[in-house]
Amino acid sequence: MNLEKRQTRVGNYELGRTLGEGTFAKVKYARNTKTGQSVAIKVLDKEQVIMHKMAEQIKREISIMKLVKHPNIIQICEVMGSKKKIYIVLELVTGGELFDKIATQGRLKEEEARKYFQQLINGVDFCHSRGVYHRDLKPENLLLDANGILKISDFGMSALSQQLKADGLLHTTCGTPNYVAPEVLNNKGYDGATADTWSCGVILFVLMAGYLPFDDPNLMTLYKKILQADFTFPPWFSSGAKKLIKRMLDPNPKSKGYTPAEFVEDEIIDLDDIDAVFKEEHLVKEERETKPAAMNAFDLISLSKGLNLSGLFDKQQDLVKRETRFTSMHPPKEIVSSIEAAARPLGFDVEKRDFKMKLQGANRGRKGNLSVATQVSEVAPSLFMVEMRKAGGDTLEFHKFFKNISHGLKDIIWKEEQADTTEITKVSK
């Protein structure tokens, strides 16, 4: 069967598969056709950005990323704009999220947790020295490169020191509930640096425990636990780790006499390219050409960690993270029909377009309705790859969804991989 897709070129970049998806943006794998460099490109719909009055937020996010150039922070390469899209070209980080590591193997040994924690603190301290406060630190926003080096990402909720009010504090309540500091919840103003420090303390606890220190399905009960710093250590925590985490998860951080880091206020950042993406001049062209959707080396590399393809279809690759994949020797139309038949009894509405599907959960979960993007691609004659990617909702709920739907797909999964692809790794409780 001849499946087709449309290949998009933007400026010097050839866009590949989607790596991630949010409410207003997609992150795509891309390759610079002149240098051969692989990058990640965050693609935003300009009309949606303007409609939701997010232009200033996007400009601030780009400005912040230009300001914080550090080995433990994901780097921005350039910014481009077309008539309809904004393209933010970023360093490609191929090792996945730190969240994935916890989800697949559970808690980390103290030595390994210490390594990641030290890199996290190095990056966060550098941000604070430049007057930047992240405000949404969590394992999902901590990426690992091919060498296991931690990279802080997603500065969409970040604030600059220039945003401090007359009282010297920030006042916007934001962040992910389980990781947010109590002073942020009090709605009386907070220090961005100490709020980030609290989040780092929660992250260290999660790395070593494999579960959250503060967790409850009822949001008000969760907030009460956070405000009171109501948590207990598991028995395997060392005394040193307990002491450090207890100091970081202090609901009254002012008692420690914190001294803010010094930062360079007059550092000059070139913002011309940021303003240009919202104007009708200096726009890049979007060029599309039709190609068979058979997966080529370019696509395979984007699926692998680094350039090592040996684990592309092995057991470890099938462990469910924010996305998972399996192969099938059944015809694509039969694969699509089987997924639809398995998803509907689980309470999912199905939208189909060629060999792409969107599965939308009817029930609201912890982070809204679960949404799963699915695509069938040809790997070789009579061999097809099925990718399922969380497009919205909670990652752990996506884990549960895949475990349930895999039972209904057992007849189409390539038999040699069937035992592996239906496994699910649980987060330690």
Based on the fold, state whether residues 86 and 146 are members of the same structural domain. no
Domain extent at residue 12: 4-92+284-291
Q: What mean pLDDT is reported for the chain?
A: 82
In a domain, 169, yes or no: yes
Based on the fold, state whether residues 59 and 151 are members of the same structural domain. no
The tokens for 426 are 């649980």
With both helix axes pointing from N to C terminus, report the angle between 98-105 and 395-408 in degrees, rounded to the nearest 10: 50
Q: What percent of the chain clears pLDDT 70, i.e. is strictly above it? A: 79
Based on the fold, state whether residues 102 and 248 are members of the same structural domain. yes
- 285, with CB counted inside 10 A (0-12, 13-18, 19+), is exposed
Q: Is the pLDDT of residue 254 over 80?
A: no
- Can you give the pLDDT at residue 359? 93
5 by DSSP, 3-state: which? strand
- The radius of gyration of the chain's CA atoms, rounded to the nearest angstrom, is 22
Which of the pair, 288 or 47, is modelled with greater confidence? 47
Reference 358, options 390, 384, 385, 381; nearest CA is 390
Per the annotation, the verdict on 136 as an active-site residue is yes
Q: Are 418 and 122 in contact (CB under 8 A)?
A: no
- Can you give the pLDDT at residue 279? 64
Alpha carbons 86 and 109: distance in angstroms, whole number: 41
Q: Is the pLDDT of residue 308 over 80?
A: no
Based on the fold, state whether residues 127 and 240 are members of the same structural domain. yes
- Can you give the pLDDT at residue 379? 74
- Can you give the pLDDT at residue 289? 52
- Can you give the pLDDT at residue 278? 67
Q: How does residue 310 score in pLDDT terms, banded at 50, 70 and 90?
A: very low
211 by DSSP, 3-state: which? coil
In a domain, 264, yes or no: no
Query: In the predicted model, what is the mean pLDDT of residues 155-164?
Result: 89
Which pLDDT tens digit goes with each residue over 191-222? 999 999 999 999 999 999 999 999 998 889 99
Q: Are 407 and 421 in contact (CB under 8 A)?
A: no
In a domain, 143, yes or no: yes
Which pLDDT tens digit goes with each residue over 166-175? 888 998 888 8
The tokens for 367 are 């982070």
Based on the fold, state whether residues 123 and 235 are members of the same structural domain. yes
Which pLDDT tens digit goes with each residue over 3-20? 555 578 898 999 988 888
In a domain, 275, yes or no: no
- Can you give the pLDDT at residue 4? 52
Tally of domains in the chain: 3
Q: How does residue 424 score in pLDDT terms, banded at 50, 70 and 90?
A: very low
Q: Are 161 and 264 in contact (CB under 8 A)?
A: no
CATH number at residue 368: 3.30.310.80
CATH number at residue 23: 3.30.200.20
Q: Is the pLDDT of residue 397 over 80?
A: yes
Model-level pTM? 0.68
Based on the fold, state whether residues 158 and 203 are members of the same structural domain. yes
Based on the fold, state whether residues 150 and 207 are members of the same structural domain. yes
DSSP 381: T
Which pLDDT tens digit goes with each residue over 21-32? 877 788 999 999
Catalytic residue among 100, 136, 154, 318: 136
Q: Are 191 and 260 in contact (CB under 8 A)?
A: yes
Based on the fold, state whether residues 109 and 203 are members of the same structural domain. yes
Which of the pair, 381 or 128, is modelled with greater confidence? 128
Query: In the predicted model, what is the mean pLDDT of residues 91-110?
Result: 89
Reference 76, options 58, 97, 100; nearest CA is 58
